[in-house]
Amino acid sequence: MQQFSTQTLMNWLFGQLKPYKRQVVYAMLALVVGALSWLLLGQGVKAAVDEGFVANNANRLNEMVALVLGIGLVGSVATYFRFYFMIWLGERVSANIRQQVYSHVLTLSPAFFASTRTGEVISRFTSDTTVLQSVVGMGLSMALRAIVTFIGSLILMLFTSHWLTLYVLVAVPVVLVPIRVFGARVRVFARNSQDRVADVGAYIDESLHEIQTVQAYSHEDIDRQRFFARIEDVMTAARQRIKFRAMMISSIMGISLLAITLVAWIGAKLVLSSELSAGELTAFMFYAVMAGGSVATISEVIGEIQKAAGASERLMELLHTQSTIVDEGTTQLIDKKISGEIALTDLTFSYVADGSLPVLTHINLHIKAGERLALVGPSGAGKSTLFQLLLRFYDVQQGQITLDGKPIRDFSLRQLRQQFAMVPQESVIFASSVLDNIAYGRPEATFAEVQAAAEAARAHEFICEFSEGYDTQLGERGVRLSGGQKQRVAIARAILADRPILLLDEATSALDAGNEIKVKQALDELMRNKTSIIIAHRLSTVINAHRIVVMDRGHILAVGTHQELMASNTLYRELAELQLIS
Higher pLDDT, 425 or 55: 425
CA angle 324, 330, 333 (to 5 degrees): 115
Instruction: Give the model's pLDDT for residue 294.
Output: 76
DSSP letter for 347, please: E
| CB contact at 8 A, 260 and 295 | no
Closest by CA to 323, choosing from 475, 7, 111, is 111
pLDDT (0 to 100) of residue 390: 92
Sequence-distant (≥ 6) Cβ neighbours of residue 106 within 8 angstroms: none
Q: How far is CA 547 from CA 343, 524, 580, in A?
A: 15, 15, 15
Query: What's at 271, amino acid-wise?
Result: V
Edge-first strand listing for the sheet containing 406-407? 360-367, 342-349, 398-403, 406-407
Angle, vertex CA 553, rays to CA 548 and CA 559, nearest 5? 20
Q: Is the dihedral of CA 530, 531, 533, 538 positive or negative?
A: positive
Domains and CATH numbers, the chain: 6-319 (1.20.1560.10), 342-577 (3.40.50.300)
Whole-number average pLDDT of the chain: 80
Question: Regarding predicted confidence, which is higher, 112 or 551?
Answer: 551
The one-letter code for the residue type at 444 is: E
* Percentage of residues of the chain with pLDDT beyond 90: 9
Name the maximum alpha-carbon separation found in the chain: 120
Whether 491 contacts 519, CB under 8 Å: yes
Dump pLDDT digits (tens) for 357-407.
Answer: 888 999 999 999 989 999 998 888 888 899 989 989 888 889 999 999 899
Residues in the chain: 582
CA distance 170 to 177: 13
Give the pLDDT score at 3: 64
Could you tell me which residue, 563 or 195, shows the higher pLDDT?
563
Question: pLDDT tens-digit profile of 41-81?
Answer: 766 666 666 665 555 666 766 776 777 778 778 878 888 88
pTM of the model: 0.73
d(CA 451, CA 438): 9
DSSP letter assigned to residue 544? T
Q: Pick from 29-38, 300-309, 495-504 the range whose average pLDDT is largest.
A: 495-504
The pLDDT, as a whole number, for residue 20 is 87
When pLDDT is cut at 50, 70 and 90, the band that residue 548 belongs to is very high
Percent of the chain with pLDDT over 70: 87
**CA angle 405-406-411, nearest 5°?**
150
- DSSP for 483-517? HHHHHHHHHHHHHHH--SEEEEE-TTTTS-HHHHH
Q: What confidence score (pLDDT) does residue 10 get?
A: 74
Reported as type and span, the H/E element at residue 550 is strand 547-552
Contact 120, 199 (CB under 8 A): yes
Least confident segment among 58-67, 108-117, 248-257: 58-67
User: Tell me, what's the pLDDT at 582?
Assistant: 45
